[in-house]
Amino acid sequence: MKKLGAFLTSLVLVAVFAGLYGALHDQLSFTIAPEYFTKFKYDQFAFEPSWFGGDRPTVAVIGFLATWWVGAFIGLFLGGTALLQPDAPSMRRAITRGVLVTLGVAAVCALLGLTYGWFFLNGPPEGWRLPSDVLDPHAFLSVASMHNASYGGGVLGLIIALTDMEWRRTTRKPIK
């Protein structure tokens, strides 16, 4: 019963942590390319900044809403795999480690995506649409690259975290 409680709690907490990551991630994104929000994300979410008290709170809400569900997905896999741990305390440690690994990899990949966008993207890649009235396409594309890389990093981080969790369980290496 304690393991089930740890699993259910992880679903909620990981979703909240992912949402907070998204809110912070988008604050950085807005600092670099406000137009990514004013000419793309606000329309995508059908939000008006006045509803939330201005640009920064709106950006935070968008970041949270864009990523909480990724956290729920990650929590489902981390929590489900952690059910194989011998007890609830081991399970909680495994989930915590998995979340930290996943968030860390996602953050590093986001920065790599931003770097790639900033130094190597000279125009929109095949299949990318850039709003015609964007004044700073370089910043817009760099932030778009950052966002894509962050999602990819979340998936990569989850794979690394699950591999680590299973390796530690099967080799009896305790998770500290």
Q: CA-to-CA distance for 129 and 127, rounded, in angstroms? A: 6
Give the pLDDT of residue 146: 97
Contact 89, 176 (CB under 8 A): no
pLDDT mean by block of 10 residues, the chain; 176 residues: 86 94 97 96 95 97 96 93 89 92 96 96 84 92 96 96 90 68
**Which token pair is 70?**
């990724």
Among residues 74, 88, 100, 71, the alpha carbon closest in space to that of 6 is found at 88
pLDDT of residue 171: 84
Nearest to 99 by CA among 27, 2, 19: 19
pLDDT score of 176: 60
Residue 124 confidence (pLDDT): 83
